[in-house]
A and B are shown apart, each in its own frame.
Chain A
Amino acid sequence: MAKSSKTDLIVALTCTGVLVIANAVLFAAGKLPVRQEGIADWPRTLVLLGGVVMTIAIFSFLYKDNPFFRAAENLFVGVGLGVTTMVMWYDFLKPDIYDKLVAPALNPAMQVQHSDLVLLVPIALGAMVLLRISRSYGWVSRYPMAFLVGYGAGFGIQPTIHSNILKNMQYTVVPTPVHWAGWAVVGLAVVLLAATAYFASKGGRLALALRIASGALALAYVIARATRAPQGPPVGGTEDLAWALFGAAAVLMAVAGYFASRGAKVNAWLWSIGGTAALIFLVNRLASTLLQGGTAAQAFASMDSIIILLGVFSVLCYFVFSLEHRGAVGALSRVGIIFLMVAFGASFGYSVMARESLVIGRFQFLLSDWLHLF
């Protein structure tokens, strides 16, 4: 027997043995479901054990693809199809067709309602759809499909325009009063971004420093925005961060200045990071000092509206592939990419959260419902 097959067999036998022993211990300890009288509740016990076996069989795929997993997978698909059949019968065919048309026809004491007779038309159309599996008569299914798909396509146009396009436009182009401090920050941002865009093509340390400064401004806004109180003065904590940043900036620039004075070729990073930290401090102080009281919320809301407008417009611009992404369109598309990256990052973070939640759910079942460890 090959070494890997031997290892797999040992793993399989070990896992099966552990499973059997664990269940025996749980049964002996009275941890498996019992009725109120103290008798073992075999239906519920079998349901629990069935669930445990299926869970472990499917988790075994993490080790490698194996017959237990394949069997459990196919069993799951078969059960799923059976469940679908059950639901189709009890939730659709029985109440909507059998009880309305067939049962009264078979039972002389019941009568078919005249209004229900019209159901024969969609039943006939449904039967025509089933002919799709036939090679010779499959074209018959095109008639009900044309009705379904054509009507559905036309029916959905107006609500889609209303809910997905007009509503979005309504809440994007929002007239919001912008506080004067907000205009100051916007003005600074526009000057900085224009300078960055202009010097970017020239390269060099200035271009790098401006790029970092632009990012720093964005970061400063996010930090100030994140720590504001909904109403009233900004929440404490920004002051500590701001002073810490100022201290860090002062140290970095002092170190850079010392080595520069000794004639050493000082890395532009030291200058840039020092300047960045100083800029963050300045913007933070501006935001905290000037945006007092309820105007803070208003100012931030108006800033956010401008950012949202810019974001929507730039992302739409990115997706217009019939225009070459050069010049102003290219610059706007680049801004759109930034928004898209933040959106995809957020989506990825939430995806990780979602998948890990599912694992947590399974472990809750195994550790609590089965093993009673908590």
Chain B
Amino acid sequence: MRVPWSDPRVIFPLVAGAIALGLLVHVKQPIEPQESVVAVHDYIQQLPKGSAVLLAVDFDPQAMAELRPMTEAIIEQCLDQDLHVVGMTFWPLGAQLGYDMFKTVADEPRFRDKEAGRDYVYLGYKPGDLSQVITNMGENLLTTFPQDYRNRPTGTMPIFRDVKSLRNVKYIIDLAAGSTPDAWIIFGGDKYNVPMAVGCTAISGPDLYVRLKNHQINGLVAGLRGAADYETLLQKAGLGVGGMFAQSLIHVMIVLFVIAGNVAFFVGKRRQRRRG
């Protein structure tokens, strides 16, 4: 039994309409942050001032909607905590995006006293096999990145006075759209005993629960929901929180249509059996 909403000419406008409605008619929903997100927030909160946090911004504009809000939230929290944030990426097409995110946060009026090279630095992209680059970073960060993204020498930067390799980093957070968390965990966190967390797209979320339960990462921020949770913890009304009502609407719509489609399927099957 064919249902009317299964036609793409009907479902596409419905999807667009539901999302537009959800964004325009913004309804505040109670957001209860998940334990795995709270773990990341709380771990950063307890890090002593001046600790180095490595942010691997491993995504490009295609995953920006989910990962940019959480990345900016994490950078904000780290700068608020007077931590030293070191950013880099394994995605060449996201290198500029990573720089833009650091700049967007650092340009906020409350971070006017933060200086690039002293409080934060964005190192850019490095090509090569992930295992080799991470190993290189694990042994010597400055030979891996002799210059930052703006081609300023890293050897003389104050931020690297006490940070020579991954062993000196207190927390690694991989914000990933692909499979880089596995490489970071295997060749970075596990090998050099550095605590790790992962921020990922919702697609990778279920797979990373294994790493969470193995205590290979101590926190997981998955998808736009994870970004909303993080913004809630920081009491910030960002794109994550802003998109939650639209996300709720579209999910409920899809679920209702799927259930209705199944009911129609079983009714149709029954009718066919009665006829035959």
Contact = CB atoms under 8 A, between A and B. Distances in A.
Interface string A288-312: 0000000000000000000000000
25 contacts: A83-B92, A88-B127, A95-B146, A95-B147, A155-B131, A156-B131, A159-B191, A162-B186, A164-B182, A167-B216, A346-B206, A347-B203, A351-B202, A352-B251, A352-B254, A353-B202, A353-B247, A354-B202, A358-B62, A360-B247, A363-B16, A364-B23, A364-B239, A368-B23, A374-B24
B225 A364 contact: no
Given A87-B124, A373-B24, A360 B151 contact: no
B26 A90 contact: no
Nearest to A167: B214
Given A162-B190, A171-B214, A354-B201, A360 B126 contact: no
Kindly name the residue among B96, B149, B214 whose own CB sees the greatest number of chain A CB atoms within 10 A. B214
Interface string B226-262: 0000000000000100110011001100100000000
Given A352-B251, A360-B65, A374-B24, 6 more contacts: A80-B93, A87-B124, A92-B125, A100-B146, A356-B15, A357-B223
A5 B225 CA distance: 43
A343 B127 contact: no
Contacts of A94: 147, 151
B88 to A, nearest CB: 10
Contacts of B224: 353, 357, 360
A356 B203 contact: no
A84 interface: yes
Contacts of A347: 203, 206-207
A159 B190 CA distance: 8
Interface string B197-230: 0000111011100100111100000111100000
Nearest to B88: A91
Given A87-B125, A155-B131, A363-B246, A350 B20 contact: no
Contacts of A41: none
| Best-surrounded residue of A84, A99, A164, A353 (most CB of chain B within 10 A) | A353
Contacts of B19: 356, 359-360, 363
Contacts of B83: none
A163 interface: yes
B210 A374 contact: no
A168 interface: yes
Given A91-B125, A171-B215, A350 B250 contact: no
Interface of B: 12, 15-16, 19-20, 22-24, 26, 62-66, 92-93, 95-96, 124-127, 129, 131-132, 135, 145-147, 149, 151, 182, 185-187, 190-191, 201-203, 205-207, 210, 213-216, 222-225, 239, 242-243, 246-247, 250-251, 254
B190 A163 contact: yes
B191 to A, nearest CB: 6
B206 A343 contact: yes
Contact of A357 (B131, B243, B254): B243
A350 B93 contact: no
Contacts of A108: none
A149 to B, nearest CB: 9
Contact of B92 (A88, A95, A100, A362): A88
Contacts of A62: 12
Given A84-B92, A362-B65, A367-B23, A350 B222 contact: yes
The 3 A-B pairs of least Cβ separation, nearest first, read A361-B65, A354-B202, A357-B224
Chain B binding surface, main DSSP class:
helix
A96 B154 CA distance: 13
A148 interface: yes
A57 B126 CA distance: 33
A84 B23 contact: no
B23 A363 contact: yes
A361 B66 contact: yes
A160 interface: yes
A354 B203 contact: yes
Given A347-B206, A353-B251, A367-B20, A160 B65 contact: no
B203 A351 contact: yes
Given A354-B66, A357-B65, A357-B223, A91 B247 contact: no
Given A88-B92, A91-B124, A360-B23, A350 B151 contact: no
Contacts of B23: 360, 363-364, 367-368, 374
A343 B209 CA distance: 11
Contacts of B147: 94-95, 99
Interface string A329-361: 000000000000001001100111110111111
B241 to A, nearest CB: 12
B204 to A, nearest CB: 8
A167 B19 CA distance: 42
Interface string A68-97: 000000000000100110011011101110
B96 A83 contact: yes
A368 to B, nearest CB: 8
Given A88-B127, A168-B214, A353 B246 contact: no
B206 A350 contact: yes
A68 B210 CA distance: 44
A374 B237 CA distance: 13
A90 B122 CA distance: 13
Given A152-B132, A361-B243, A350 B190 contact: no
Contact of B185 (A91, A163, A367): A163
A84 B186 CA distance: 27
